Amino acid sequence: MDLKIKLLEFAKGWHDLIVIAQGEIDSQALKRIFNEIEKTIRPLVSCKVFIDLEEAALNIRPAAIHSIANQVELPIKNNPIKMAVVASKFDRCGRLHLLCDLLCRRGLRVAVFDNTRSAGTWLSEEI
């Protein structure tokens, strides 16, 4: 997996985190993505996260997705987080939808999109 992360800082304490992952993503790679997100946004007051998996191929079983979702420790109580995930055309089994549903049950605002434009539009709306 090739992973690129960029944190953008704006006035009034707002931040956007852009995560682009390409290649094959197994359970260890998905854990790494969320570990990097957690590490980056933990000290921030608020953050919008854009995860682009458009050029990625997920190779993860549903049981592993449940495990990863349960391990995610994003700081949702102290700072608002909104996360948009752009799914790959290879994710026809809906594994990202399962992940997002599980994260939403934990109190995160997460949505899956099939293109970057609609993801960006949703993400640009107020938290």
Q: State the chain's mean pLDDT as an integer.
A: 87
Task: Give the separation between CA 36 and CA 74, rounded to whole angstroms.
Answer: 11
Task: Give the separation between CA 4 and CA 120, rounded to whole angstroms.
Answer: 18
Residue 91 pLDDT: 67
| Confidence at 88, pLDDT banded by 50, 70, 90 | confident
**Alpha helices per DSSP H over 19-74:** 27-41, 62-71
Residue 73 pLDDT: 78
Residue 10 pLDDT: 85
Contact 84, 123 (CB under 8 A): yes
Residue 21's identity, in one-letter code, is A
Residue 41 pLDDT: 87
**Domain residue spans of the chain:** 2-124
**Looking at domain 2-124, what is its CATH homologous superfamily?**
SpoIIaa-like domains (3.40.50.10600)
What digits encode the pLDDT tens for the residues 37-59? 989 988 887 889 999 999 998 88
